[in-house]
Structure 1
């Protein structure tokens, strides 16, 4: 069953629910700290994101309830003749809402935002352990064209 959602820019009042969603899976619970009060680091990060015109933190809502989140970062590059690209990160849907179209709404919205901003490319990564998520992104048209590498600094 697909549900109707509204998408909007996140506010600081949404932060608690955002962190709760980020922590609500096997991988997220190992790196997030969903506790009351929220650690100051989340508030500082939100303020930095809100102040940057090239980052959008977007929430999906059903009524007043936040049920999804994603971050889109717009980055200029020298490659592609000075082209811009959009990176989608931190996509989560409330566990009770998964499989109802919330994630598709978020990703399609991000793709449209990238087009609106003149980006030539939309990119994202997902942990290799998230096999269902990988299939979801492929179903939406994303292709695994590159091998991504990361280095933890902690």
Structure 2
């Protein structure tokens, strides 16, 4: 991987590639529905994300080809003296590019982007069934400082 990566906000033209990448991993294949044309739920979600100034859905390109994606959400809250917390979700690297250092480059960019937007921390969640992902995040400097909980509806 010695080619330059470029980062830009996603457009509706990128949506098929994004959903394909989201569905192309062990967990994503169980919860996403990649088909063409895309289900309307993805189109509606994209429109909502694109309109929200607190959301950034970013695609990563190498020589004009989309090879990655991630979403940053900037959460304003009162604690930490009215601080901003950034949440990173939906990070994916194209299957043919995995294991080559792209994930690290993408996270380095996302960390810088969160700092640039004034966030005092960047958080993520990861499935406990993915120990290799947890090791990857820890190597980047993430710390499992809290116990996360979810309620699915």
TM-score, scaled to structure 1: 0.95
- Measured after TM superposition, the shift of residue 86 of structure 1 is 0.4
Q: 1:129, CA displacement in angstroms?
A: 1.3
Deviation at 1:108, TM superposition (A): 1.2
CA RMSD of aligned residues (A): 1.1
Of 2-11 and 102-111, the range deviating more from structure 2: 2-11
Aligned length: 153
Rounded to whole Å, the distance in 2 between the matches of 1:12 and 1:133 is 29
Unaligned runs of 5+ in 2: none
Partner of 1:145: 145
Q: Look up the match of 1:133.
A: 133
Confirm or deny: 8 A CA contact 1:3 1:102 kept in the other structure. no
Task: Identify unmatched segments of 5+ residues in structure 1.
Answer: none
CA distance in 1, matches of 2:10, 2:83: 27
What is residue 18 of structure 1 aligned with on the other side?
18
Structure 2 length as normaliser, TM-score? 0.96
1:72 has 2:72 as partner: yes
Displacement of 1:44 after TM fit? Answer: 0.6
**Bigger relative contact order, structure 1 or 2, given CA contacts below 8 A and separation 6+?**
1
Q: For residue 109 of structure 2, what is the aligned residue in structure 1?
A: 109
